[in-house]
């Protein structure tokens, strides 16, 4: 069975991927230099983003209320707003949930890099292996966060910093591949 690639790797917005990669590397370095502040920052960020996501879901569902099952999106948006608000008021609860949420977000990011690496390999693009390695390492660190959250803040800080560094490097390599091919 032959796979066809319907989306070209070359992108005129390759620089966006580059900026994301640079930002991820900078954030990874900041995590290592400010471990306690970074953990609390991640907890606050998680709570605020859940709240903002809920507002977005509510607006999107209202915009699509003529479509089938729009009420489910509205209900999920309201639930996200309520949970986000509670987590903003109780940052300690947000900090407790952070390892699981962060782990799954990083797992999703790692899967994305692995899929991009497969696309790059199919197109015979150089350096696809670096994107694959970055994706695998990002997944590894994500699993470490999810399955070992009881090791505490230092574990989350270490794995988050490493995941951001390797994910950022993968994004930088990917951006140059998007620019050239």
Whether 134 shows a pLDDT value over 70: the answer reads yes
- Sheet strands (E) in the chain: none
Whether 29 shows a pLDDT value over 90: the answer reads yes
Q: What's the pLDDT band for 114 if we cut at 50, 70, 90? A: very high
Q: What is the pLDDT of residues 43-74, one digit of tens each?
A: 898 889 889 988 988 998 888 788 777 888 88
Helix, strand, coil percentages, rounded to 5, for the chain: 85, 0, 15
Which residue would you say has higher pLDDT here, 10 or 104?
104
What does pTM read for this prediction? 0.53
Whether 5 shows a pLDDT value over 80: the answer reads no
Q: 147 and 1 in contact (C-beta within 8 Å)?
A: no
Among 153, 162, 139, 172, residue whose Cα is nearest residue 42: 153
Q: Return mean pLDDT, the chain.
A: 84
Q: Which helix (H) or strand (E) holds 93?
A: helix 91-122
Q: What is the distance between the alpha carbons of residues 93 and 99, in angstroms, rounded to a whole number? A: 11
């Amino acid at each position: 069975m032959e796979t066809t690639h319907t989306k070209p790797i070359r992108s005129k917005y390759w620089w966006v991927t580059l900026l994301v990669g640079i930002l991820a590397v900078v954030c990874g370095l900041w995590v290592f230099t400010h471990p306690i502040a970074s953990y609390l920052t991640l907890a606050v960020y998680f709570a605020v983003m859940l709240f903002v996501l809920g507002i977005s879901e509510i607006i999107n569902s209202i915009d699509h209320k003529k479509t089938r099952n729009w009420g489910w999106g509205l209900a999920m948006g309201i639930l996200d707003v309520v949970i986000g608000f509670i987590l903003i008021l109780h940052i300690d609860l947000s900090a407790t949930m952070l390892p699981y949420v962060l782990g799954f977000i990083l797992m999703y990011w790692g899967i994305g890099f692995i899929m991009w690496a497969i696309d790059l390999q199919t197109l015979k693009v150089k350096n696809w292996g670096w994107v694959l390695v970055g994706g695998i390492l990002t997944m590894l660190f994500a699993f470490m966060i999810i399955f070992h959250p009881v090791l505490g803040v230092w574990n989350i800080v270490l794995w988050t910093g490493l995941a951001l560094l390797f994910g950022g490097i993968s994004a930088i390599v990917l951006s140059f591949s998007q620019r050239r091919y």
